[in-house]
Amino acid sequence: METIDKIDKCRSTMQKLREQGNKIGFVPTMGFLHEGHLSLIRMAKRDCDKVAISIFVNPMQFGPDEDFKKYPRDIKRDTSLAEKEGVDYIFNPSVKEMYGQDHKTTVEVKELSSVMCGKYRPGHFAGVATVVLKLFNIINAHKAYFGEKDYQQLVIIKKMVADLNLDIEIESGPIVREEDGLALSSRNRYLSREERENAIVLYRCLNIARDMIAGGENDLEIVKKRVMEELKGNEFVRKVDYFDFRDPLTLQEKKRIKKGDGEILAAVAAWIGSTRLIDNIMIKV
């Protein structure tokens, strides 16, 4: 395995791999790897000849009051985990290498970026789309892998790829969870023991919604009211940004289940103490 921190070196290395006929799989990450990331790496290993991951905590996707500085980083541990999974290349650039002194360009996927998390994290998805496009241009992979944990991000990246005619295939992997159901996240490490025990309320609420809908409830406002009671009743939930039902493709809000809907996304973002967590499930209707 090779770790590369310069754009030119990364580009020429990937170019050579392509010329040799290799199919390249790419997994973008912000590091502090966990089983969620590793599951995507395994998918890439299964499909491709060579696997590159990026480890880059992207300042452009953090708001001024967010956790960019304290975001967990451990490149040594990440390197050893990646090596064990058979990753071929880690691209680990500095912020200066990625953005230089005078970066002016951003990519914005309109509408999809201003709902759900976008409403509470203005500029976040422009930061994500911009860095992902830059990484796609640097790595030039055949396939890229994203987790359904960040469902809105996945929809936005797919739309960017379609709208900008990018020559890359996007694959997605299911959410990897702890035994009690909490979705794995690098941010879980911020949680105190009590917060960690209570963070499971997010997944519990998604399941309450699924059960109510399976029981025949079509009015999603009623489902939401019940779920919000559960969330607000938990003393560790400091704030709920949203608990929404959305169309899985357009992310438009759904207030009622209609015949032929097929699947509905239930998604939540809430603060457990000072940690913002997100989770979602797809509900068959």
Cα diameter, the chain: 59
What is each CA distance from 128 to 8, 113, 150, 154, 275, in whole angstroms? 22, 10, 11, 10, 20
Q: Which of 87, 141, 184, 257 binds ligand AMP (CB under 6 A)?
A: 184
Of residues 33-52, those binding ligand AMP (CB under 6 A) = 36-37, 39-40
Min dist CB 4 to ligand AMP, Å, is: 18
Among positions 107-146, residues that touch ligand AMP (CB under 6 A) are 146
CB of 256 to ligand AMP, least distance (A): 29
Q: Which is nearer to ligand AMP, 175 or 208 (CB)?
A: 175
3-state secondary structure of 200: coil
Nearer to ligand AMP, 146 or 245 (CB): 146
Cβ nearer to ligand AMP, comparing 113 with 220: 113
Strand partners, 146: 172
Residues with Cβ within 8 Å of residue 37, at least 6 apart in sequence: 27, 29, 53, 147
Give 136 or 146: the residue with its C-beta nearer to ligand AMP: 146
Annotated catalytic residue within 34, 37, 103, 142 = 37
| 159 is a contact residue toward ligand AMP (CB under 6 A) | no
Please list, in sequence order, all residues whose beta carbon lies within 8 angstroms of the beta carbon of residue 61, skipping any fewer than 6 positions away.
123, 124, 125, 127, 128, 131
CA–CA distances in Å: residue 208 to residues 124, 172, 212, 231, 253: 29, 25, 6, 11, 19
Number of residues that bind ligand AMP (CB under 6 A): 17
For ligand AMP, the binding residue among 155, 176, 199, 231 (CB under 6 A) is: 176
Cβ proximity to ligand AMP, 115 vs 217, nearer residue: 115
Strands 237-246 and 263-272: antiparallel
Nearer to ligand AMP, 142 or 224 (CB): 142
Contacting residue, 93, 118, 127, 173, with ligand AMP by CB under 6 A: 173
- 85 binds ligand AMP per the rule CB under 6 A: no
Assess whether 37 carries a catalytic annotation.
yes
CB of 60 to ligand AMP, least distance (A): 13
Per rule CB under 6 A, is residue 175 in the interface with ligand AMP?
yes
30 binds ligand AMP (CB under 6 A): yes
CA 159 – CA 141 distance, rounded (Å): 18
Smallest gap, in angstroms, from Cβ of residue 146 to ligand AMP?
Answer: 4
Cβ neighbours of residue 7 closer than 8 Å, sequence gap 6 or more: 93, 97, 98, 138
Cα separation, 11 vs 236, whole angstroms: 46
- Residue with tokens 């990897």, as numbered in its chain: 176
User: Six-digit token pair at 65?
Assistant: 């009051």
Name the residues that contact ligand AMP, by CB under 6 A: 29-30, 36-37, 39-40, 146-147, 149-150, 173, 175-176, 183-186
Catalytic residues, which ones? 37
